[in-house]
Structure 1
Amino acid sequence: MDHDEVLSLYERRFRREPAPEMPGAVVERAGAVVRQSGPAPCWNGVLWSDLDERTADAAIAEQIRHYAELGTEFEWKLYDHDRPADLDRRLLAAGFTAEPPETLMVAETARIAVPAALPAAGPEGVQLVPVTGMDGVELVADVHERVFGASRVRIRERLAVQLAEGSVVAVLAMAGGVPVSAARMDLHSGTEFASLWGGGTDPEWRGRGIYRALVAYRAREALARGYRYLQVDASAESRPILTRLGFAALATTTPYTYG
């Protein structure tokens, strides 16, 4: 895999010329900024910018005004190669809050779509169960709320919309009828990429291979649908696992939130 080539493709597909992520979302270029806006559960924020020392502060102020008029908080997704070099400090000075940095990682789907063993959990063991309806959506929301402290309402709304339009693959790891992990994969129609999200596992079940099995499951699903690459915004905890599985780090990205 040519890292520079894949990063350039990712930048074009997801930052400079992205499609709206769901019904109701609007992607627009406002000057030197590409942003997405939309009603909940849509993600609101800045995807890409082409700024310099002269234009950055005014562009930041304009995005704050735009989302204030919509009455929503938003995120500026900053990459380590974005310019100007002090854009991070300018965002902080404007009132943004930096979240933990993540690593943009990509792998060729065919390399990851391999069988993965699951740990035993009593006589039935751990089973991977696809999410096909609202009962499964509720279980995914339960796991994410328990593991990540995430809003179950937002997760439930988003996943329900995506299931209805066929733009997601979601899966649960069940042990003795109890969900111990959950993950999803967004399918980006018209692109070469599927993106992995979640993978949250109950603490007592970590370190047993469930995360790896969830990655492999989604990779097989992506391969069957013709997606060439898998993309992850990896946390510090998941990056070593993904590296061992064959993912390559292409950039560092930090979410800056406002509101």
Structure 2
Amino acid sequence: MIENDVHARLLAAYDEQLRTDAEASGAINVAVHGPLLLVTFAGGNGFVTYRNLGGADVDAVRQLVTAAIEYYRADTAVTRVEWKTRGHDRTPGLPEALQENGFVPDPPESIMIGEAELLSRPVALPDGVTLRQMTDEADVLAMCAMQAEVFGDPTSDHIAGALLRRLSLDDGMELWVAEADGRIVSAGRLEPVQGTTFAGIWGGATRPEWRGRGIYRALTARRAQSALSMGKTFIHSDSTEFSRPILERSGLVKVSTTTPYRWVRQTPPGD
């Protein structure tokens, strides 16, 4: 019963604090359509968020999806859109409606939440490994290159550029890495959510040869310590099945699942 109460309390905090306005922070435009917020970020990124769909049935859900994609299609500056579904929502027919309208699902992830105090307990690092916060351009570029390598993605100056712009705004985001012999072996981001008691931990990546040695847990603990210094009491993250067990050992609880659906504008042949 106590475990169920904790789960319910954390999930309620997630729904109340981390959806709608919190997900639209930093947007260049937000349009309201029924229960939906149709958010547009710099760089041509659209994002659909909502607290719930107000008990919509299958037909009403399909109409919401159609209206959302028509809105973004009309804005030629938007090249990609994310609709982030949650496993605990009542949204009949939503996956089918999204795919009918050209959205493609990513693998499901676990929504993890925990008390920052529990996560903040120091974890011993292997000899020769140190943690450091990064702010310089060269460091950020090196961190992004490492993360791209670990995730199997192409190196993107766009991602590094976006992080550097965020750092210049001084909005609270922090970039942390673990290093050995001057080489980045693990990295992650801390995202305090304004107007809430939450901070998010994102972008966690550790080189394969350094895994299983407590480095990522130590990086999580250090970010939790920083979150506490900002007055944040909860940590949240969407995690893959690889990182979920690590976060559970650190004290986070799986409260639900999320499956992002992505739409990408198709460029006509010859353009």
TM-score (ref. length: structure 2): 0.87
User: Mind listing any 5+ residue stretches in structure 2 that lack a counterpart?
Assistant: 265-271
Match of 1:61 in 2: 66
Match of 1:39 in 2: 42
Equivalent-residue separation in structure 2 for 1:179 and 1:59 (angstroms)? 44
Equivalent-residue separation in structure 1 for 2:23 and 2:49 (angstroms)? 11
Match of 1:179 in 2: 184
Match of 1:225 in 2: 230
Equivalent-residue separation in structure 2 for 1:243 and 1:231 (angstroms)? 12
- RMSD of aligned C-alpha atoms? 1.8
Match of 2:240 in 1: 235
Match of 1:129 in 2: 132
CA contact (8 A) 1:29 1:35 kept: yes
**Counterpart among 63, 88, 98 of residue 81 in structure 1:** 88
Q: Secondary structure at the match of 2:79?
A: coil
Q: How does 1:81-230 map to 2 (within 5 A)?
A: 81-120=88-127, 125-148=128-151, 149=153, 151-166=155-170, 167-230=172-235
User: Mind listing any 5+ residue stretches in structure 1 that lack a counterpart?
Assistant: none
CA contact (8 A) 2:61 2:92 kept: no
Equivalent-residue separation in structure 2 for 1:239 and 1:10 (angstroms)? 17
Structure 1: 4+ residue segments shifted above 6 A: none
Letter in 2 for 1:86: G
CA contact (8 A) 2:109 2:241 kept: yes
| Structure 1 residue 2 displacement after superposition | 3.1
Matched, 1:26 2:33: no
Letter in 1 for 2:240: S
Q: 1:241 to 1:150 in 2, by over 3 A?
A: farther
Q: 1:87 to 1:151 in 2, by over 3 A?
A: farther
Letter in 1 for 2:175: A
| Structure 1 residue 199 displacement after superposition | 1.5
TM-score (ref. length: structure 1): 0.91
Q: Please say which of residues 170-179 and 66-75 is displaced more in the overlay.
A: 66-75
Q: Please say which of residues 108-117 and 164-173 is displaced more in the overlay.
A: 164-173
CA contact (8 A) 1:14 1:47 kept: no
